[in-house]
């Protein structure tokens, strides 16, 4: 297991980080049992879905070992209320049962029938893939789910982690960082946008938690990209919803790193300003610039050297470091006041049995310093904009959703 994946695994004991990928289908499968069998057969044909973690030796990194895919990988939920809202409430509850990747690193939850799915006139079906972060980041988990639901494209392979001694890798990373500093001073690379004060959205995940989802077509979102359009709308909605909002309002945006993945998690967080004080057009331009600058920093040799150095950290040292993390410590500054995770999940070519996909959504996990997150997930021309919030961060989620709906 690569160092970054092991870090996600060990950290999950203190900050749960399972991902939940929701797929809604137009109609319930005519033969649900057969549809579930199809999913299990496809999972068995994918090596990345047929393994679990073995973590028996403290001085070494955990190992991925083969495991058979069986009926226990799929759970059918029978609900008293078959509404879409009740289904979303049930999805929130799934986070209370985190996966033990020593048994299975993924599980599929099936809800059917579900009435009121956006874009579906009659009863439909919802399948939620629960994935441990150690197994996959958002893009890789989306590829796994697509394989389960019939897409021919295989899950991309991961190259073996680089081998190297930490002292040499550390020296190389230090040299590359000094080059980055020189490039920033010379104006060749833009600096990061910096940290900002805590707001109520950084209050953590205390109290009840809720999720909501808005649905748009791509043509309805004004902006150079879906991600930028939604970030601009989040800025407008948050600045109206938060009494303590400031001009420093910012968001963390997960972004895929360049190059060939050498771990199951091949991404980093880019911090962007949200610039609520600017008009919409100027705000869109500044947000797009921050994202582009973050992408350039990821492409700088310093980022690559830092990743190689981290990959060389001895397992015992990293395990000890993770154990020192204290989730109750409150810093004076944070990177962002919310998270906006955006993933395009490809063409609308997926199906569950004989039911075609109509939308896909996701609800990024909350953490001790992040009580409000957003998911932006597209399939075909349909985009789901989702909100996941704790009561301690957003007192009235429906009010915030109305503000976001209007801003979109």
3-state secondary structure of 208: coil
> What's residue 79's pLDDT?
84
Instruction: Compute CA distances 289 → 66, 161, 218, 226, 286, whole Å.
Output: 44, 32, 21, 15, 5
Query: At 23, is the pLDDT very low, low, confident or very high (cuts 50, 70, 90)?
Result: very high
Among residues 228, 200, 172, 229, which one has the least CA distance to residue 337? 200
pLDDT band at residue 244 using 50, 70 and 90 as cut-offs: low
What three-state secondary structure class fits 351?
strand
Dihedral sign computed on CA atoms, order 163, 165, 168, 171: positive
Please compute the mean of the pLDDT values over residues 138-153 and round it to a whole number.
97
Cβ partners under 8 Å of residue 240, min gap 6: 403
The number of CA neighbours under 13 Å toward the Cβ of 41 is 8
CA distances from 344 to 143, 291, 365, 383, 390 (A): 10, 16, 18, 9, 26
Q: Give how far Cα 161 sits from Cα of 57, 234, 310, Å.
A: 19, 37, 11
Distances (CA, A) of 381 to 256, 331, 359: 22, 41, 9
pLDDT number for residue 206 = 80
CA angle 203, 207, 209 (to 5 degrees): 95
pLDDT tens profile 74-99: 999 988 889 999 999 999 999 999 99
Please state at what angle helix 397-407 crosses helix 226-241, rounded to 10 degrees. 130
Pick the range with the lowest mean pLDDT from 95-109, 166-180, 333-347: 166-180
Q: What is the pLDDT of residue 239?
A: 93
In the predicted model, is pLDDT for residue 301 greater than 70?
Answer: yes
CB 307 within 8 A of CB 184: no
Tokens matching residue 195: 């940290």
* Kind plus residue range of the DSSP H or E element containing 51: strand 51-54
Q: Are 110 and 75 in contact (CB under 8 A)?
A: yes
Residue pLDDT, tens place only, 193-243: 999 999 999 987 788 999 999 999 999 999 999 999 999 999 999 999 987
How far is CA 197 from its chain centroid? 24
CA atoms within 13 A on the CB side of 141: 29
Q: Which run of H or of E encompasses 271?
A: strand 267-273
Least confident range from 44-48, 56-60, 348-352: namely: 56-60
Q: What percent of the chain has pLDDT over 70?
A: 99
- Min mean pLDDT across 114-128, 171-185, 195-209 is at 195-209
Percent of the chain whose predicted confidence (pLDDT) is above 90: 88
Packing angle, helices 32-44 and 138-148, rounded to 10: 120
Supply the pTM of this predicted model: 0.95
Average the pLDDT over each of 1-10, 154-163, 287-296 and give the range with the smallest value. Answer: 154-163
């Amino acid at each position: 297991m690569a160092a970054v994946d092991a870090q996600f695994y060990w950290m999950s004991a203190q900050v749960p980080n399972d991902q939940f990928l929701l797929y809604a289908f137009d109609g319930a499968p005519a033969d649900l049992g057969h549809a579930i069998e199809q999913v299990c057969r496809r999972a068995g044909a994918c090596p990345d879905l047929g393994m679990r973690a073995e973590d028996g030796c403290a001085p070494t990194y955990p190992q991925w070992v083969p495991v058979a895919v069986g009926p226990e990988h799929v759970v059918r939920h029978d609900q008293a209320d078959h509404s879409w809202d009740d289904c979303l409430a049930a999805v929130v509850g799934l986070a209370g049962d985190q996966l033990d990747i020593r048994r299975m690193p993924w599980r599929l939850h099936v809800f059917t029938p579900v009435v009121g799915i956006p874009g579906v006139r009659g009863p439909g079906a919802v399948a939620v893939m629960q994935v441990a972060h150690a197994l996959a980041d958002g893009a890789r988990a989306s590829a796994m789910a697509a394989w389960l639901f019939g897409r021919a494209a295989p899950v991309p392979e991961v190259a073996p982690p680089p081998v190297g001694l930490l002292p040499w890798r550390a020296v190389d990373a230090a040299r590359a960082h000094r080059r980055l500093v020189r490039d920033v001073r010379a104006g060749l690379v833009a600096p990061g946008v910096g940290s900002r004060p805590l707001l109520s959205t950084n209050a953590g995940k205390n109290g009840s938690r809720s999720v909501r989802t808005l649905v748009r077509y791509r043509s309805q979102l004004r902006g150079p990209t879906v991600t930028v359009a939604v970030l601009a709308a989040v800025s407008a909605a948050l600045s109206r919803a938060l009494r303590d909002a400031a001009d420093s309002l910012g968001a963390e945006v997960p972004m895929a790193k360049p190059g060939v993945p050498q771990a199951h998690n091949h991404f980093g967080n880019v911090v962007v300003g949200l610039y609520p004080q600017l008009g919409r057009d100027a705000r869109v331009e500044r947000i797009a610039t921050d994202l582009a600058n973050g992408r350039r920093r990821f492409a700088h040799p310093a980022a690559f050297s830092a990743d190689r150095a981290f990959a060389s950290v001895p397992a015992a040292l990293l395990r000890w470091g993770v154990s020192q993390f204290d989730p109750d410590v409150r810093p004076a500054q944070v990177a962002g006041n919310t998270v906006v995770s955006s993933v395009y999940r490809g063409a609308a070519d997926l199906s569950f049995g004989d039911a075609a996909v109509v939308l896909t959504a996701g609800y990024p996990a909350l953490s001790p310093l992040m009580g409000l997150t957003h998911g932006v997930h597209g399939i075909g021309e349909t985009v789901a904009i989702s909100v996941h919030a704790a009561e301690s961060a957003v007192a009235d989620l429906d009010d915030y959703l109305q503000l976001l709906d209007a801003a979109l």
